[in-house]
Every structure is written in structure tokens, then in C-alpha cells.
Amino acid sequence: MRAIDPIGPDGVYRSRDRQVLSDVSGEPILELGLAPPLLVNRIVRRMRAADGQSHADRLAAIARAGALFAEADVDGETPEEYCRTHARLSGVPIRAATRALTAVREAAERMDEAVRAQRPLGVGGSTVWVRRGDVLGVLAPGNHPLPHTLWPAAIALGYRVAVRPSTRDPLTPARLVMALHDAGLNPGYCALLPGPHEAGGALLAAADLGFVFGSADTVAHHQGDPRVRVFGPGHSKILVTAEVDWHAELDVLVASVAGDGGTQCLNATTVLVEGDADGLAEALADRLTRLPVLPPEHPDATVPVAALPDAGRIANTFTAHTAIAYAPTYLGDDSAVLRPVVVGPSTAAPAVEMPFPCVWVIPWRGTDGIAPLRNTLALTLLTTRRDLVAECLHEPTIPTVHWGPTPTTAHDPVLPHDGHLAEFLMTTKTHTDRSAQLATTGTRRPAHVGRSSAAPVGG
């Protein structure tokens, strides 16, 4: 059985605290070494003290790491073994990890482009762009591997990044951290810190800034903390207006709701329809019910799988919220497939995110305006109405607007995901240098006087 231990500037730390993780059928699949709070603090201190590395060398190492992640054996694990183990452990269809191989490589290859896209236009001369801190702590999610394309950008900006992985997916960040070290990144720039809940709190306390991925409760817990950037539920949506033939857009609707198992924050949880909402709900349900019932590691798997106790809890939560009976499909190995559900217009319960493809189809009228579209991570507009698109673009609670047949799950590593990360990680300062005009007594100046330590692009 493979083991993953904490990784820091001095290499792997063999932890005495161990946790055995099981796959969706209850079979042990991975042993996790845990970093207690004391070790978390020690590693963060070592990261702060570690040698630096130039901006250009960090970018080159990140690019090499992306290729290693996608193509090479990392810690004795092939890309194919990573994908299969990820599917068995997380229950997310294997296509999600397969997609991550390509997504991580592309994000790494385009890191310089991504950083330049985030750099304010006014930087230069007396305006410098600098980090808000030195160490970033990341409490990572386990619902999908794609968020791990985000935090390497902080390394490109000069941060030291420590990641506490989810027990549902320690594989993706472990593979990426080891690939970064193997690619020549100074090991003080990234660390892997598996650990209990209190270790996550210790990491946020020890770091200067934090990324936290989680539920609505997680968002509420960190609300108002200027040191923490929270990535919560996406509540992504699709609007179909009356002049658009939704029959021709069913592929987009299915991809938005069920793509990669329907577990991302980008997956649509609401479809608003001007016109025949009942007809669209029926047609969408027909398409989704055709998705195959398969183990998550099968190449044709499209919907998530959970251990029977977890599947039962998820079903009970859904039924308690909607008053709709729901039964996962038993696979015969103590696991169950979480089949998609379309909640029709007659259901009064409001839309909520579930860990499987679950979508509410509700009526929309022009007089409703964009109010029902607010607080949406990704919005796809299937409409010809330019005024409606313009309103959505100017609405601050809708970070991503797709006009036309683009799934809500579309991802480009250079484009902002819920805003550019540098909006949180970086700040601009004024720096003027007239030190040459100072009147002096003839005493030799210290070498550092007159040189700016503020590096653009977070170097």
C-alpha cells in the first residue's frame, strides 16, 4: 500500500501519526502520514528561512513540473496509476484526473502568460507590484483536482506555498509538490502538510495569507478575515431565453451539469428557462438518466461513486431538503453510484449544491431581470439579448459570464477564476529614488542604500 508523508524544505518527514484511507468499496488504498500542528509550524519556519530563487528560474521549474506531472513517473507512480487511484479513492470519475494531467501541464506551461495577465498596467517606474506576505497556506479541496492548477501561480509570484490536502484527494497535491521539487524548484517554495483539522488551523495561523476551499459553513467561518481568500460553493447557472431553441443546446446543458461527475463548483446547479421549463426539465432528465452506471475507474464512467454509508447520508440530505425520494444505485462492492437528478419547476425547495449531478430547472421571465442570476461563479447565457449580457457583465457577484453555447465548466488557466489570484496576493506601492541627490558627510554608504528590495512580478 502506497504511503504519502509530509514534505518540506528538508524532504520527506516520516510521521508517526498515520491514517489509512479506503477506496469507495471500503478497501484500504493509501496510508497518510499526518503533520501535527507542531510540525506544521516547524516546516513553515523552515520555508521562511530557505534560500530564494529567481523569478525566471521558478517559472522554468514550474513549466518542467507540469510536464512531469502529466507524463512522468513521480515517486514511482505512473500517470495512469495516479488517475486510477484518484478515481477509486475520491469516487470522482477517472476522466477528472485524466483532465487534470492536461490542465496542470497547460497551466504550468502558460504560467508566465498568466502572471503577466494579472500584472496591473500601471506597474513600472515609481509604481511597484509586491507581495502582501511571504507564505501562503492552502486548505485544499477533494471534490475535483482542477483547483490544484491555481496555487502554483503564487509560487510564480514569489510565495512559499504549504498545502494541506483533503483526505479525499491527497494524491493530486502530493504528485504536484513532488514534481515541483524534482523539476528544480527550491524545496523551500512548496510543502505538503497532510493533517487533522487542527493542523489546518495551525497552517493558517502560521502563514501570512490563506486559500480555503469549502462549504457555505466554511465561507461563513472565515467571512471578514482579510488574510483568507475563501472559495466556496459556485452556484453556477445557465439562462435560456425564449428565442433560443434549447433542444439544440442539450449537449451544453448536460456538460454543464454532469461534466467530470458534476462535483465541481463550476457545474451548473440551476437552469433558468424563459418558456417551456417543464419540457426542458423532462428532456434534460432523459439525457442524464442515460449516463452509464460504472465504477469510477472505468474509462466510460461519468457520474460519481461513494461508499454505501456516504451514499446513504447524501441521499438522506437530498430527500430532507427536497422531499423527493432518492436512492443511489448499488454497484455490488459496498459502493453506490450517485445518479443525476433534475428537480423540476414544481419543487419549492431552493437550489443547493450536492456532490453529484443535481440541477434545478426553474422558470424565468424578462421582468425578473438579473436578480435570480446573482451570486453565481460561472453563468452561461443562451440568449441573443445584448442588454442582458451587458447587465450580467457589470454585476459584481457574477465573476464569469459565457455568452453562447459554452459549458459552465469551461476552464482557461490564463483567465480569472473567481477573480485573478493576484488581486488578493499582491499590492501596488509607490517607490521614488532620489538618493543620489542626498547631501552626505563623505562617509561611505552601506551597499544596500539606494537599491529597492521591491521586485515587480513578486520576485
What distances in angstroms separate CA 401 from CA 114, 369, 427, one per listed residue? 19, 16, 26
pLDDT bracket for residue 450 (50, 70, 90): very low
Query: pTM to 2 decimals?
Result: 0.93
Q: In which residue are the cell numbers 461508499 written? A: 307
Q: At what angle do helices 79-90 and 171-182 cross, to 10 degrees?
A: 150
C-alpha cell at 346: 414544481
- 218 pLDDT higher than 90: no
Query: 362 — phi, psi (to 5°)?
Result: -135, 155
Q: In what order do the strands lie in the sheet with 335-337?
A: 305-307, 335-337, 329-330
Q: What is the pLDDT of residues 123-174, one digit of tens each?
A: 988 999 999 999 999 999 999 999 999 999 999 999 999 999 999 999 999 9
By the 8 A CB rule, do 48 and 189 touch?
no
SS3 35: coil
Query: 331 — phi, psi (to 5°)?
Result: -95, -15
Q: What is the pLDDT of residues 279-331, one digit of tens each?
A: 999 999 999 999 999 999 999 999 999 999 999 999 999 999 999 999 999 99
What residues are paired with 239 via a beta bridge?
272, 381
Predicted local distance difference test score (pLDDT) of residue 224 = 87
pLDDT bracket for residue 215 (50, 70, 90): confident
Domains plus CATH for the chain?
Answer: 2-231 (3.40.605.10), 236-403 (3.40.309.10)
Residue 170 to residue 164: CA distance in whole angstroms: 8
pLDDT bracket for residue 442 (50, 70, 90): low
Predicted local distance difference test score (pLDDT) of residue 458 = 44
